[in-house]
Amino acid sequence: MRWDGAPQITPAPMGVLGVLRACQRGAAILLVIGFGFLTLLLCRVPERVIAGPLRRPVTARITQIVCVFVCVILGLKVTRQGNLAHGAGAIVANHVSWLDILPLNAGGPVVFVAKSEVRDWAGIGILARGAGTLFIERRRMAAKDQNRLLHMRLAEGAERLVFFPEGTSTDGLRVLPFRSSLFEAFFAAELPRDMTVQPVTIAYHAPAGESPAFYGWWGDQSFGAGLMRVLSVRKNGHAAVIYHAPLRVSEFASRKALAQAAEKAVRAGLLRALSPEGTEVS
């Protein structure tokens, strides 16, 4: 369920030029995704044989390249501060919309953690599976197996897992409280003592003349309407991705303390990025 705490945006009419832009960009994106997905499928079998089932030295880079190209086609400029951490651990970020997968994937090899329902979404589910998404079921009966799989991926350290602790998407103008229950997975005894959790802030700057919440996805907004809004706008804005200092799990006494520290870093990053000084694009 998505957050519904902000008023809905009334989109401006796209007009003929907007429809043409959406068709042109959409066609180009489909070509890039299609070619990338086919290449990924061809590489995945030999990759599994050589590197093992959990490592994706080739296909993760393919996903990264595809996301870079999609951002270019959209005209969405992505700026970055800091560096993606390496080694065993995870990323925890604020969640604005479905668009988040593009700047996060474009920044380096990562694996998204999503609810199991996403696996069955038309089109998106297939792409998510191909990109290595880790699906988590909410059924209590599956908790043991899910935790074992989660811990294996966390300990592997080849790619950072990406979690959205808010549990929902927003208008992009605020950070909701992080759910501490998610952070329990990081305290498992079998995980490396040096494992880290890296807070990451995603801040979107809307196109000129558009609502500051242009890229948000919340309430009863449909995926299709949000997609068309981004595809049809004359000139897209930009996304700032801020990689904060990694938090060493062993230095925190509880999941709540870790969640609060991560939330504080992400919220401070968003406030800085959305300030008048933070709207400048280098």
Structural domains in the chain, sorted by start? 15-279 (3.40.1130)
Please give the Cα distance from 149 to 128 (Å, whole number). 17
What DSSP assignment string belongs to 227-274? HHHHHHSSS--EEEEEEPPPEEGGG-SSHHHHHHHHHHHHHHHHHHHH
pLDDT of residue 78: 97
Q: Tell which residue, 269, 89, 223, 67, has the closest CA to residue 162.
A: 89
Please give the Cα distance from 149 to 135 (Å, whole number). 10
pLDDT of residue 122: 63
77: its two tokens: 């400029």
Sign of the four-CA dihedral 123, 129, 133, 135: positive
Decide if 51 contacts 57 (C-beta within 8 A): yes
Decide if 192 contacts 155 (C-beta within 8 A): yes
pLDDT of residue 7: 76
Decide if 154 contacts 195 (C-beta within 8 A): yes
pLDDT of residue 280: 46
pLDDT in single tens digits along all 282 residues of the chain: 678 887 777 777 788 999 999 999 999 999 999 999 999 999 989 998 998 887 888 999 999 999 999 999 999 999 999 999 988 899 999 999 999 999 999 998 898 887 777 777 766 777 777 777 888 776 665 556 667 778 888 887 778 899 999 989 999 999 999 999 889 889 988 888 889 999 999 999 999 999 999 999 988 888 888 899 999 999 999 999 999 999 999 999 999 999 999 999 999 999 999 987 665 443
Look up the pTM and report it: 0.91
Please give the Cα distance from 111 to 91 (Å, whole number). 9
pLDDT of residue 133: 82
* All residues at 6 or more sequence positions from 249 whose CB lies less than 8 Å from its CB, including other chains: 89, 186, 187, 191, 195, 196, 197, 258
> Could you say which DSSP state residue 61 is in?
H
